[in-house]
Structure 1
């Protein structure tokens, strides 16, 4: 059972839930549970059964697809007010997870048990919410497929850097993880950008020197 402050936070972040009938809202309050996890925690992994439907109250979850060789492709992030399409798909299809979810920061979420998720699908407002989520995430994933399939890695790296500000505090490994590549390749590309005068590199920092040049590279 969740307390009143947690319930208020839930309905503020997910206003669609306020449209549920009172009995459905009461069921959600009484059956859901709050979970707090530190950064870097694996919330779910491939071939695991889904334990419930998550609502993120604070923090964020990074959802990735991992290859046997250790490479990872980031699929999307789940932040407060959003939820996880892969969890929805697993619950609807009664199938195990086919991706991994890892907390990026200390995260607090509300977990709705499987049987209560199934029951709430009978409510039009909740069902519309779930399928709207599918629509939005599928559009995001189609864009990701287009990026990976049709844009070269140096273009994607340039676009990624431009979206992070002028002075970026990060590691080559973290950039590689975001791009679904490996550190050695990203380090080589960054060195090439530095040799062209587009960026300056220092320990765990990338400074953008020529944003116009990076934009030309990102645009192909």
Structure 2
């Protein structure tokens, strides 16, 4: 990962900062399905996504999951930034939804960059604000919409991020939406009947409209 690639993914930073990111950052390849963050893990680096999609979620005492949001290329994991600054352990989990590449920035550099580079200060604040807004949207979907509306919103978001053919099982979707596999299967069959999707084994294909449409 060179400075030109970093500038393309994270625009608006100082040229000197890109050089420091290239030198200080550690590039890590993460296969799809692998854990990125564990609950209770000590975080010593900020996580910036270079390629792929990372899913952030919480887990209750019975193993149930609550989907929070996705982190895409050019975005940072705000939780990793906050916890590393405050030297706290993670209270969420993160896993690679697809094969992913991340850039790990050690805590010592983050502290220095906050005072040295104004653009890094704004990047950290904007990352936290963006992830907070995404979390509010997720909560709003759960609180104010019924399950078929939530499912439509969720599937469209997956299509925008992953393309028309999305490899997710009905159980994966049910877990993210805090529902049951039976309910999700029934609603997806209804969507297939209405010409929205085609259901495949462990995946679905969106056919209703442009996958980038919101």
Q: How would you bin the TM-score normalised by the shorter chain?
A: 0.7 to 0.9
- Are residues 1:90 and 2:83 paired? yes
Q: State which drifts further: 155-164 or 32-41.
A: 155-164
Indicate the SS of the match to 1:127: helix
Are the aligned partners of 1:72 and 1:181 in contact in 2 as well (CA < 8 Å)? no
Match of 1:42 in 2: 35
Instruction: Note the alpha carbon deviations across 1:71-107, whole angstroms, 9 max, x for none.
Output: 2122111111111111122123321111111112222
Q: 2:8 aligns to what?
A: 12
Instruction: Give the equivalent residue in structure 2 for 1:99.
Output: 92
**Corresponding residue for 2:177?**
179
Paired residue secondary structure (1:148)? helix
Deviation at 1:27, TM superposition (A): 3.6
Q: What are structure 1's unaligned runs of at least 5 residues?
A: 212-220
Alpha-carbon separation, structure 2, partners of 1:207 and 1:39: 19
Q: 154-163 or 52-61, which moves further after superposition? A: 154-163
> Please, which runs of 5 or more residues in structure 2 have no aligned partner?
209-214
Aligned to 1:148: 142
RMSD: 2.9
1:198 equivalent in alignment to 2:194:
yes
Question: Displacement, 1:48?
Answer: 0.5
Query: Could you tell me how far apart the structure 2 residues matched to 1:13 and 1:119 are?
Result: 22
Could you tell me whether the CA contact under 8 Å between 2:44 and 2:107 is conserved in 1? yes
Q: Structure 1: how far apart are the matches of 2:187 and 2:154? A: 13
**Structure 2 length normalisation: TM-score?**
0.79
Q: Highest CA radius of gyration, 1 or 2?
A: 1
Give the paired residue count. 202
Tell me which of 120, 123, 126 is aligned to 2:113. Answer: 120
Deviates more, 1:25-34 or 1:36-45: 25-34
> Which of 130, 133, 151 pairs up with 1:139?
133
Contact 2:27 2:102 in 1 (8 A): yes
From 62, 71, 84, the equivalent of 1:69 is 62
